Structure 1
Amino acid sequence: MSLLSLVEEAFAPEGVLSRAAEQFCPREGQTAMALAVARAVEEGGLLVVEAGTGVGKTFSYLVPALLSGERVLLSTATKTLQDQLYGRDLPRLLQALGLPLRTALLKGRSSYLCLHRMELARRDAALPDRGAVRALAKVEQWSKATRTGDLAEMPGLDERSPVIPLVTSTRDNCLGAQCPQFRACHVNLARREALAADVVVINHHLFFADLAVRESGMAELLPSVRVAIFDEAHQLNETGVQFLGSSLTTGQVLDFARDLLGTGLQLARGLVDWQLLASDVERAGRDLRLAVGKGGLGGKLRWAGPAPEGVPAAAWEETLHALHAACLRAMAGLATVSEIAPDFVRLHERAGLLAERVECFARPGAPEAVRWLDVGTQLRLQESPLDIAEAVQTRLLNRDAGGAEAGGPGRTWVFTSATLGDDERLRWFTEPCGLGAAEVLRVGSPFDYARQSALYVPAHLPKPSDPSHSAQVAALVAAAVRRLGGRAMVLTTTLRALRAIGEALQAEFADSGELEVLVQGQWPKRRLMERFREGAAGGGQPGCVLVASASFWEGVDVPGDALQLVVIDKLPFPPPNDPLVEARSQRLESQGRSPFKDYFVPEAAVALKQGAGRLIRRESDRGILVVCDTRLTGMGYGRRLLAALPPMRRLQSQAEFEEALDALTRAATTDPSAS
């Protein structure tokens, strides 16, 4: 039986999927996507699929991939989605399909416990505080029972714990085959299992890190894979440009100085003046940060000349030279003790790599790249390509005679997401990813948006540029959530708006206790989402309002009545003064194209679609989307942005908005199945 026939049979009303998924019912869009993936697997080539929310795209690509009998690589956007795919979706399908395939989960090395680093941390007298000492003790206890070493499996470990960098390795500090724990290494175990598996689940960061530095073991794995599928593919371009350029952070410099001092005093005390070498490197790193001052804090500085914008060139060049010299002195000191322990060999290599990176940023930038400086508590010096098109063509698809091993005839590449653009060819995604020749399929959502949801654009609000805009958005939200009892998420486009709206709402409800206002940053994301999903259902707790930005615009799944109101503060255009945005705009201008029409509007359309996608997650969901930006209805480009949104019914007035809120409240209190 052909693969197409097997897939059709699986998605039939009484097929195997009816046993794999609760309440499974055949969906035309889901089957159409699955058959397209099956054809791509049989014939080879490139397939790009935009599958609207609710299509069930995970099963649409998994079923044909698993039934094909080919070796499969699955890449998704985050480690959380990796865990879901590996721990829930794959086992369920393999059981239903009766396939004895071996699966493996492969993450970056920072996700795994490093036994050698844990041993060093145990002997380190300079742990940050008592909390870190207790956390380290818990890690040690857990290390005796874990098989995988995946820190995500450790209960109670805060993802922001300061002990994590102390018990994990990086590409810089890993000792490789010279490590005394090499045979028991959890990273190596995960890589060996991946090489022996039929289906391997990775993430986009790991994939591009390997394309850039050939470090993760993917160089061995990818050539043996015939089917590669990228879910949440809308993140590929921005993820890729992070890894395909050059970067240097003052955090890396300070980490090296700390490791230099700690290892030197533990293993070769008295043989070299470790205090002097480490303090030289540390001082040079801190001086680099001080050379920038407070200008641009929390933002990006353009860097087209010898120094970033606003930074005195002479001081900048002097601090770079001092850092380079400090790294060379560290190398000289380490060379005298390299035979004592492999730790010193690796430290010598790290010092050399840091010196190379400093030297790179002391020279003019590459003509086809953009360079900038991220300014925060630490500095990030970054040089990146404008997109990943060339890398995809030459390193991935092997379209050039000198391309990498990853390419090859007959290989199948599938890229899918709920949001990949706002035109039929999905150019927002395919152009920067070098996939203009791919077959493109768009599968609409099966949800009845006109019945399940409504869109409201408040006409009385000022323009987003008005200083009072955030305060008025907060007032609108406060009045709405009082009627609704919480159940609302506010998505902001800037951290400034996040703080302003979050603080205003917290002040509004601080004394009454009727609602709990959660603001991104106050807790880890996982904890915020757990509390928000509880809503008002748990033990008399008040309802919730979540104010968030950035990563909360996508990948957040809150079905049921815990979320029935999504408020977007303004249209999510890219920041025009961002160096990467500026460089992309200038390139379009040089091609005779319109940056606003061909870049800013498509970017806003995709982001708006992502944010709106948080509202309706199931066929039974009901909700209202509020976009607090009158440009959506008052400007010509607004029609294009409206067309990118799901076909929700429109609320024309404040009175209609309030009635819709009341209707949601009545439905939630009378329909026990709503939750």
Structure 2
Amino acid sequence: MTSLQEAVRSAFGPEGVLAQMDEHYRAREGQMRMADAVAQTIERGGSLVVEAGTGVGKTFAYLVPALLSGERVLLSTATKALQDQLFARDLPQLVGAMALPVRTALLKGRASYLCLHRMELARLDTAAQDRQVQRVLAKVEVWSRATRSGDLAELAGLDERSPIIPLVTSTRENCLGASCPHFRQCHVNLARREALAADVVVINHHLFFADLAVRESGMAELLPTVRVVVFDEAHQINETGVQFLGLQLSTGQWQDFSRDLLAAGLRHARGLADWAQVAGEVERAVGDLRLAVGPAAPGTRLRWTLQVPESLAPDAWNAALRRLSLACVQAMEALDVFSGASPDFARLCERGSELLARLGRFAAPCAPDVVRWVEVAGQVRLVESPLDIAQTMRSRLLAAPADEEGDDEWPTAPPQHARRAWIFTSATLGDDPGLTWFTERCGLQGAEILRVESPFDYAAQSGLYVPLNLPPPADPAHSAAVARLVGAAALRIGGRTLVLTTTLKALRAIGDELQARFGGPQGLEVLVQGDWPKRRLMERLREGASHGGQGCILVASASFWEGFDVPGDALQLVVIDKLPFPPPGDPLVEARTQRIEAEGGSAFRAYALPEAAVALKQGAGRLIRRESDQGILVVGDTRMVTMGYGKRLRRALPPMRVLESPQDFDAALDALTRTSTKDPIWP
């Protein structure tokens, strides 16, 4: 046994540091297995993929060996909220208990930090803003004089959807860099400097892959000096990676360019050019592009396999692209005259060139190894994406040091002789022993695989119910039937219910039905995603009926399927409206399906079914978060029982007790209302 493994086992032992931190600590066999495997990988290098079920304690299982190794460590999490938790709670707790001389740093993307220059510009432009925006800006200005980090997460009460955020943060496009008058005080640069000087750096997946794509935010300097890289919530890295390793161009980028062009012109060269006309031409060209796309529903993705996206008129589309190009050229000609007068003008010229280059790429035919589409949301977005990150991972990150000679990309090994250690972990990485759902998409077929089961007694703590009297998922009456089932069950247990939907249409239908039923002041409170900020919705569900309030039902989709923790009595019923298969009309899904079929495989078995199994497992994971939790999972899709593939999906779920009939379901609901959460609800 190596010295690091010995140190790790000692830390997890009965007299170890974890026992000293918490008098209720007890050694868990699964946590020890994972920590031991992480220690081995750190010592010898290579890749380790660990699926660690809920309750294993995976955070400490990778943190303890990483800290004890003495190596420089990069920790990447799925979200900024998890990043903050790791940096502010878990790391300080362990570092303090171990008395290690370790410097830690938190590094986020630009949009998380206050930009002093952008705030100054926003202040000058307040006459054009409403009073609410001005009030929030005033709060930001007061906070800006006290903050050291500039991390907007410090600012209590700031809604993540606030329109003030893009006004007071920078982007890669509009950052002035060393030419900025506030360069020395820049919060982004301060965070990067601290990261470069730290022993342990906490980032998020978005920053990692954005940096891998553009090598712009400090990671190009940071990664070569790090020997241990840990991806927590690693199941998200493929979908995060493809967002950044492709190409995007949005109407929002053009509008930002137009707005900044007008502001800079009026500020530095008022009266020397018709800035309103120049900026207005860009805006009008953006409007033409929107008109060419037409009135598509939000969330629509238009396939783009030929020269023009599907269902769009070629003449209108091509004319819109030409007008946008011409408007940008005219803007750059106006800017070029004054480029030496201000850093703002010089940077705007560079932005114009970048926008034109991207527009030219989208005007050319699509490469055979990527997929292209137009996405309609609050803005129109042109997207070109690889199908997965496997090739990038193999060639740019996981390659052996000998393969890197003469490569001008990131070096993939630190100066030390030992290979870098890559640790990938999550509670959900696949539904087969080889975790192929994860490893194939991420180029990790040669990695060591470890699966550690949850220590929870799911059969005693939880039940699975598939109601067979519901209409088929394709039936228009399905959502209303699910809402009736949810309403009746939630009323019996006093709320404590989370409904996870697979589509926004179902989200709205089920939410409306429940809000109509419980609309009175004496009923349950029904919350629907989108009505409030996400953070507030989470806090309200966790609060439950405490302090004499109403019980609560939350109807949500998308991001609420994972990373959402409600332990205890506040959540005891999770309802999934239907099986979460990938949307068949999505261009990325279609391209992945076609690739599998072209290689002679079954797209349903190799892609759709594993995707559904992993998503189902993630959604079910919201229910039982602690050893004392109890609850019921309802899957409102009869295919779970009637179709042969339902067995595979059921195997992907935790080993819950199956509730065979409505009577079993009713009895389980009754047991939830009359028992303490300290005792199992079923013998």
Q: TM-score, normalised by structure 2?
A: 0.97
For residue 299 of structure 1, report the CA deviation from its aligned partner: 1.1
Q: Does 1:530 pair with 2:531?
A: no
The residue aligned with 1:247 is: 248
Q: Does 1:607 pair with 2:608?
A: no
In structure 2, the CA distance between the partners of 1:146 and 1:125, relative to structure 1 (3 Å rule), is closer
Q: Quote the Cα distance in structure 1 between the aligned partners of 2:677 and 2:562.
A: 29
In structure 2, the CA distance between the partners of 1:406 and 1:449, relative to structure 1 (3 Å rule), is farther
For residue 473 of structure 1, report the CA deviation from its aligned partner: 0.3
1:253-279 C-alpha deviation (Å, 9 max, x unpaired): 111101100111011101121111100
Give the alignment partner of residue 642 of structure 2, picking from 634, 645, 668: 634
Q: Quote the Cα distance in structure 2 between the aligned partners of 1:397 and 1:343.
A: 39
Gaps of 5+ in 1: none
What is the identity percentage for the equivalent residue pairs of Structure 1 and Structure 2?
Answer: 68
The residue aligned with 1:405 is: 410
Q: Quote the Cα distance in structure 1 between the aligned partners of 2:88 and 2:593.
A: 42
In structure 2, the CA distance between the partners of 1:392 and 1:164, relative to structure 1 (3 Å rule), is same
Amino acid at match of 2:575: V
- SS, match of residue 640 in structure 1: helix
Residue correspondence of structure 1 range 633-652 to structure 2 within 5 A: 633-652=641-660
The residue aligned with 1:516 is: 525
1:446-490 C-alpha deviation (Å, 9 max, x unpaired): 000000000000011111011100000000001101110000000
Residue correspondence of structure 1 range 355-374 to structure 2 within 5 A: 355-374=356-375
Residue correspondence of structure 1 range 15-414 to structure 2 within 5 A: 15-21=16-22, 23-398=24-399, 400-401=403-404, 402=407, 404-408=409-413, 410-414=419-423
Q: Does 1:571 pair with 2:572?
A: no
Amino acid at match of 2:628: S
Q: Quote the Cα distance in structure 2 between the aligned partners of 1:96 and 1:546.
A: 38
Q: Does 1:454 pair with 2:455?
A: no
Amino acid at match of 2:560: F
1:314-368 C-alpha deviation (Å, 9 max, x unpaired): 1111110110111111111111001111011001111111111111111111110
Q: Quote the Cα distance in structure 2 between the aligned partners of 1:21 and 1:316.
A: 63
The residue aligned with 1:496 is: 505
Q: Quote the Cα distance in structure 1 between the aligned partners of 2:298 and 2:140.
A: 35
1:8-66 C-alpha deviation (Å, 9 max, x unpaired): 00011221011234621100000000000000000000000000000000000000000
- SS, match of residue 533 in structure 1: helix
- SS, match of residue 183 in structure 1: helix
The residue aligned with 1:442 is: 451
Q: Quote the Cα distance in structure 1 between the aligned partners of 2:119 and 2:486.
A: 47
- SS, match of residue 104 in structure 1: strand
Amino acid at match of 2:479: S
Amino acid at match of 1:419: T
In structure 2, the CA distance between the partners of 1:403 and 1:184, relative to structure 1 (3 Å rule), is closer
Q: Quote the Cα distance in structure 1 between the aligned partners of 2:412 and 2:190.
A: 26
Q: Quote the Cα distance in structure 1 between the aligned partners of 2:539 and 2:565.
A: 11
- SS, match of residue 360 in structure 2: helix
- SS, match of residue 355 in structure 2: helix
Amino acid at match of 2:42: V
Residues 107, 201 of structure 2: 8 Å contact kept: yes
Residues 628, 677 of structure 2: 8 Å contact kept: no
Farther off after superposition, 372-381 or 467-476: 372-381
For residue 127 of structure 1, report the CA deviation from its aligned partner: 4.0
Q: Quote the Cα distance in structure 1 between the aligned partners of 2:167 and 2:411.
A: 34
Q: Quote the Cα distance in structure 1 between the aligned partners of 2:382 and 2:410.
A: 30
Q: Quote the Cα distance in structure 2 between the aligned partners of 1:4 and 1:377.
A: 51
Residues 612, 625 of structure 1: 8 Å contact kept: yes
Q: TM-score, normalised by structure 1?
A: 0.98
Residues 398, 406 of structure 1: 8 Å contact kept: no
- SS, match of residue 546 in structure 2: coil
Residues 398, 405 of structure 1: 8 Å contact kept: no
For residue 571 of structure 1, report the CA deviation from its aligned partner: 0.3
1:574-632 C-alpha deviation (Å, 9 max, x unpaired): 00110000000000011100000000000000000000000000000000000010100
Q: Quote the Cα distance in structure 2 between the aligned partners of 1:201 and 1:300.
A: 34
Gaps of 5+ in 2: none
The residue aligned with 1:424 is: 433
Q: Quote the Cα distance in structure 2 between the aligned partners of 1:21 and 1:194.
A: 30
Residues 568, 677 of structure 2: 8 Å contact kept: no
For residue 161 of structure 1, report the CA deviation from its aligned partner: 1.2
Q: Quote the Cα distance in structure 1 between the aligned partners of 2:137 and 2:191.
A: 23
Amino acid at match of 1:553: W
Farther off after superposition, 396-405 or 260-269: 396-405
Q: Quote the Cα distance in structure 1 between the aligned partners of 2:299 and 2:287.
A: 17
For residue 403 of structure 1, report the CA deviation from its aligned partner: 7.0
- SS, match of residue 51 in structure 2: strand
Residues 394, 404 of structure 1: 8 Å contact kept: no
Residues 396, 404 of structure 1: 8 Å contact kept: no
Q: Quote the Cα distance in structure 1 between the aligned partners of 2:121 and 2:78.
A: 32
Q: Quote the Cα distance in structure 1 between the aligned partners of 2:496 and 2:552.
A: 6
Q: Does 1:654 pair with 2:662?
A: yes
Q: Quote the Cα distance in structure 1 between the aligned partners of 2:673 and 2:287.
A: 55
Q: Quote the Cα distance in structure 2 between the aligned partners of 1:541 and 1:138.
A: 31
> After TM superposition, where is structure 1 displaced by more than 6 Å over at least 4 residues in a row?
none
For residue 209 of structure 1, report the CA deviation from its aligned partner: 0.3
The residue aligned with 1:622 is: 630
Amino acid at match of 1:646: P
Amino acid at match of 1:306: Q
For residue 156 of structure 1, report the CA deviation from its aligned partner: 1.8
Amino acid at match of 1:524: P
Residues 205, 239 of structure 1: 8 Å contact kept: yes
For residue 512 of structure 1, report the CA deviation from its aligned partner: 5.0
Q: Quote the Cα distance in structure 2 between the aligned partners of 1:633 and 1:21.
A: 44
Amino acid at match of 1:567: V
- SS, match of residue 593 in structure 2: helix
- SS, match of residue 299 in structure 2: coil
Residues 111, 170 of structure 2: 8 Å contact kept: yes
Q: Quote the Cα distance in structure 1 between the aligned partners of 2:44 and 2:209.
A: 26
Q: Quote the Cα distance in structure 1 between the aligned partners of 2:657 and 2:620.
A: 14
Amino acid at match of 2:633: L
Residues 126, 134 of structure 2: 8 Å contact kept: no
- SS, match of residue 319 in structure 1: helix
For residue 372 of structure 1, report the CA deviation from its aligned partner: 0.4
In structure 2, the CA distance between the partners of 1:122 and 1:512, relative to structure 1 (3 Å rule), is closer
Amino acid at match of 2:573: L
Amino acid at match of 1:522: D
Residues 628, 678 of structure 2: 8 Å contact kept: no
- SS, match of residue 81 in structure 1: helix
For residue 514 of structure 1, report the CA deviation from its aligned partner: 2.3
Farther off after superposition, 602-611 or 304-313: 304-313
